Chains A and B, each alone.
Chain A
């Protein structure tokens, strides 16, 4: 078991193996991502029942929650890649950070913008500096910071090291975002989805929400794989294996 895992880890850590097998994976992953995303979002926006209190404005949850949770998970993935990059100096780790940061920033921005649009009719304000909203804004800036570090330093190895460090350290903020609504009194409500126990939502609303969440995770994975492949092509442009694969 452990040996399979370490072998798998070293295989996917090699740009050549990654390039080859992500190319096999993507034609399957893309249709699956688009299908689940379309089913989840259309079901949620058009067919799920309205909420007893908010009416139809609650439907923004089918965009807001998937985007926010994918942004959090993406940051954790970036932190893990950062740790791998700093400790094992694996080339693929830097490439993964560079691939995750821009789309993660977009997701964090989507979560903030949809939240503001929903906040105006529900709370009565677009923005309030409570713990959840502020820490989520910080997460957007951390994503942009990693993205900026990666692109501002000309030497890719040094850029990778700086961005890895910010990725690893920034994971602390993920924990703060997640528990901000429990640790402090905030305007933002607690989590509707519960990992343990029953979610505060009936199944006819929960099902489309979970499907759109899965859809956005798959979509995120697809874009990350594609960006990573592009980056591999740029970095390995002089290597023999790439010329052979592309021929």
Chain B
């Protein structure tokens, strides 16, 4: 390779590698701010400050959803297998909100085990399948991708 080009190549690759490392360090330092939500484990371990506004994410515990028959109030438990706390919400839940489904709630942590949600978003996973496949899985005794469908 021509020495002038070689030098230019080294300079440019050096600039790109340097910027990549700088970006990587920056993103690593801001990790907590880039994560969209706190996990139940982080709430349980006290990493999430009580009283502050934040987002939490986790799975809705099967059988924990309690709806008030007269109002839009709903309470449910949120877990990630390592921590659990209860969430209270007043409003209309998204279509994909189901027991066992992942959700992200935006609101205030009132106590270490109680979260007051102002907004509830459903988190979708990357699995897609036709309804017949899901039915067949359930018939065969397999819990399928979400057994909680029948719980509704």
Binding site for B on A (CB under 8 A): 49-54, 58, 61, 83, 86-88, 121-125, 128-131, 168-169, 171-172, 175-176, 183-187, 189-192, 200-202, 204-205
Verify B121–A201 contact, CB threshold 8 A: no
Contacts of B34 in A (CB 8 A): 131, 184
Residue B107 CB within 8 A of the other chain: no
Other-chain residue from B16, B37, B130 in contact with A172 (beta carbon distance below 8 A): B16
A-B pairs with beta carbons under 8 Å apart, 12 shown: A51-B129, A52-B129, A87-B8, A121-B95, A123-B96, A124-B121, A124-B122, A125-B119, A189-B123, A190-B125, A201-B127, A205-B130
Residue B15 CB within 8 A of the other chain: yes
Contacts of A83 in B (CB 8 A): 9, 12
Residue B146 CB within 8 A of the other chain: yes
- Compute how far the CA of A202 lies from the CA of B130 in the bound complex, rounded to whole angstroms: 8
A134 to chain B: closest residue by CB: B34
Verify A187–B36 contact, CB threshold 8 A: yes
**Chain B CB within 10 Å — which of A121, A128, A187, A205 has the most?**
A187
Given the interface pairs A51-B129, A86-B8, the reply to whether A184 lies near B31 with Cβ below 8 Å is: yes
Residue B46 CB within 8 A of the other chain: no
How many B residues touch A, CB cutoff 8 Å? 40
Verify A184–B129 contact, CB threshold 8 A: no
Contacts of B96 in A (CB 8 A): 53-54, 122-123
5 additional A-B pairs beyond A122-B95, A172-B19, A185-B37, beta carbons within 8 Å, are: A122-B96, A130-B36, A131-B34, A192-B128, A202-B129
Verify A191–B121 contact, CB threshold 8 A: no
Contacts of B112 in A (CB 8 A): none
Residue B39 CB within 8 A of the other chain: yes
Contacts of B31 in A (CB 8 A): 184
Contacts of A86 in B (CB 8 A): 8, 12
For residue B42, give the distance in angstroms from its CB to the closest CB of chain A. 10
B8 to chain A: closest residue by CB: A87
Contacts of B122 in A (CB 8 A): 122-124
Given the interface pairs A52-B134, A189-B123, the reply to whether A169 lies near B19 with Cβ below 8 Å is: yes
Verify A122–B36 contact, CB threshold 8 A: no
For residue A141, give the distance in angstroms from its CB to the closest CB of chain B. 16
- Compute how far the CA of A49 lies from the CA of B20 in the bound complex, rounded to whole angstroms: 42
Residue B120 CB within 8 A of the other chain: yes
Verify A185–B121 contact, CB threshold 8 A: no
Verify B121–A52 contact, CB threshold 8 A: no
Verify A190–B128 contact, CB threshold 8 A: no
Contacting residues of chain B (25-54) with chain A, CB-CB under 8 angstroms: 27, 31, 34-37, 39
A202 to chain B: closest residue by CB: B129
Other-chain residue from A121, A172, A205 in contact with B128 (beta carbon distance below 8 A): A205
Verify B130–A52 contact, CB threshold 8 A: yes
- Compute how far the CA of A87 lies from the CA of B13 in the bound complex, rounded to whole angstroms: 10
